[in-house]
Structures are given as C-alpha cells and as structure tokens.
Amino acid sequence: MPLSCLPQRFVVLLLTAGLIPMALAQEARVHTVDVEREAIEETIELTGSVVAPRTANLSSDVEGRIADLHVSLGDNVEDDQTLLVIDDAEIEQQARAADAQYTEAQAELDEARRLLDEARQLGEGQNIARSELRQRENAVAMAEAVLERRDAERERLSTQLARHRLKAPFTGMITQRNIEVGEWSSPGNELLTLVDLERLRLDIAVPLSLYSRMDDADLKVRLPGDPSWRSAHTLARVPREDDASRQFLLRAALDDAPPLLPGMSVRARLQLSGEQGPTVPRDALIRRPDGNISLWLVRQDGDTWRAEQRRVTTGPSQDGTTAILDGVSPGDRVVVEGNQRLEDGQRLILEDE
C-alpha cells in the first residue's frame, strides 16, 4: 500500500521507527583510561574482645574456717599479698611446740658435744676409758639425729601454717569473692577469682583463608566509645581445633592502650596487601539489576573506535580504584564517562584523544 494512502499519523510513526537504528548507530562521546596493573589493599572488618592473659580461680588445699578476709570485690592486689587466712590456731600451737622442741634438742646436742670434747681431752692423758669415749661419741650422734628430726618437724609445720594463708600468685584485681569470714572452706573450693589487668590482650576471630596473608597485614582496632582507630600488633596466630569454624584466633595488643576491661567488645580492621593485577576506576563499572558487573572496552576498528561490553569479576577496592579478577588485562582501554547508554559495536569519539 502506498504511503499516500495511509493516515498521516501512521506515516509519522513509521518514519520515526526507521530513525531508531540510526540513532543507535550515532557516535557517542566518551572519556577513557587504560587498565593499570597495581596491588590493591584489601580491608577486612572483624570483631573481637578484650581478654586477660591470666585468670586464676583461687582455692586452698587445707580445710578450715575462714578467720580473716583481707580483700573485697574489685580490690587491686599485689603479687604474694595475703588475701585470706584459714583458722590456724591449732597448727600454730603445734608450730610453737616444735620450735621449743628444736631449741631443747639443740641444747642437748651442745651438751653432748661438750662432754665429748672433755672426754677427748682427758683421753690424751689416758685418764678416761675408751668405752666412755665411744659412749659420748654415740650420744653426740643421737643428739644430732634428734635435732635433725626436730628441725624437719618444725619445717613441716611451718609449711602447713603457710598453707593456711592464701596469697596472690600475681598482681591483679579481685573480680569474684565466694566466701565470707566464718564460713567453712574445703580443699578445692573456689574462694576468689583474680584477673591480671596489666597485660590485657585482644582476641579476634579471622577467616582461615587469610592465615597465609597475615605477615604484612596492618591491624587497627576501634574501642567502644572511641571514634579513632588505634594501631595494634600481632602477638600470635592460633589455629582452632574446631575445623568447622573455618577461623583462627588472632591475639593482638594495642600499641598505645587506654584503660581496658576484660570482656569489652572491639572492632578490628585488617589491611592486607593484594597481589599485582588489573585495576580500573570505580566509575568504569556498571552494576546490572541481575547482580552482574560489566564495563565497556574500547576497540579500534581501522580508523574507528567501537564499544565492546565485557562482563568482569571484581576484587577489593581502594580509594576509588577496583581490582579486576577476570575480564580485562593491563593495557586495555575502558570507558569511565559516557558509559551508561552505550551499545555493543557503537562508534565512539574519545574525548581524551
């Protein structure tokens, strides 16, 4: 049917439709950059907690009534400080008796030695029988044995008396008290809990896949209520026995630590050096509704530049630059401006030429 026989509005529509492919084929003005080869630092956000390197649940190995309690909850104590005393009246009496017996045995030994010296002096002049000399020598030996036995008993009671006093094994804070004066304590009962607050550490759970990349990692930590990120250094990397967790324990310490308490939660940021690879400006990437990411490459066709869409796999980003794991190579040219409405094969005018 001739166009003259069609209504005018249909003619206009047909003419307009015929112009669409022509519009798509029009040249687009774009800005481009070359794909660079560089390493992108990867930042990993993690969480952790403040832990004490030493926590002791203190108990006594003797039985008895609590006679004195020298600490309260929250008290700071020094190493070897007496924390409590279990009733030691009976053992103290035995210790005093042992001291007296030791003193008596020492006096008997001194007397036996004096008599032996006297006999030896008389023996030089043949004024004492040989049997008497041997008897006095035996008396000295017996007195020495008695003194040694009394000394051992005295030391035993002294040790037992010391066990009635519970002392701090290190400097720290009393965080739990489970006993009061007058209560009965049995061996093994947890009486006090002591926590070392001088060398608090940070325990951070890190994905096991990062274990081999930790040598040059930079660690920063943010504490509750503190807006700043503080530098920290690694003390140990400890694999966990539970393989299902797919994590390892990173134990760290702050370089300049403010007051901390065990149990505080922390945020950690690991900066890992990446491998050398292709990188592009973030503006070159186009995120599709289906989740795919692509960019536009610039290909030369004789004297003409044309657009080529390329789907890519991205890696970490840093300062507006993104690592490309798959899809482009260093030296490729990509569009960074004017890349929103391009079509495959469309002719391009490079504004940066």
Q: What is the mean pLDDT of residues 291-318?
A: 92
CA distance 314 to 295: 11
What letter represents residue 287's amino acid? R
Tell me the three state secondary structure of residue 241. coil
What is the rounded end-to-end Cα distance, in angstroms, of the chain? 49
Which is higher by pLDDT, 253 or 133? 253
* Interval 166-222: pLDDT, tens: 999 999 999 999 999 999 999 989 999 999 998 899 999 999 888 888 888 899 999
Q: Read off the CATH number of the domain in which 230 is found.
A: 2.40.30.170
Domain containing 217 equals 44-54+200-272
CA distance 272 to 275: 10
Q: Are residues 156 and 218 in the same domain?
A: no
* Interval 235-294: pLDDT, tens: 999 887 666 778 899 999 998 878 888 999 999 999 887 778 899 999 999 998 998 999
What's the pLDDT band for 133 if we cut at 50, 70, 90?
A: confident
% of the chain residues with pLDDT over 70: 91
Q: Are residues 289 and 331 in the same domain?
A: yes
* Interval 17-65: pLDDT, tens: 444 444 445 889 999 999 999 887 888 899 999 999 899 999 998 999 9
Tell me the three state secondary structure of residue 148. helix
Residue 62 located in a structural domain: no
Here the tokens at position 46 are 């993690």
Residue 335 · residue 296 · CB < 8 Å: yes
Q: Are residues 254 and 300 in the same domain?
A: no
Residue 305 · residue 323 · CB < 8 Å: no
Residue 175 located in a structural domain: no
What's residue 14's pLDDT?
Answer: 42
Count of domains observed in the chain: 3
Q: Are residues 144 and 97 in the same domain?
A: yes
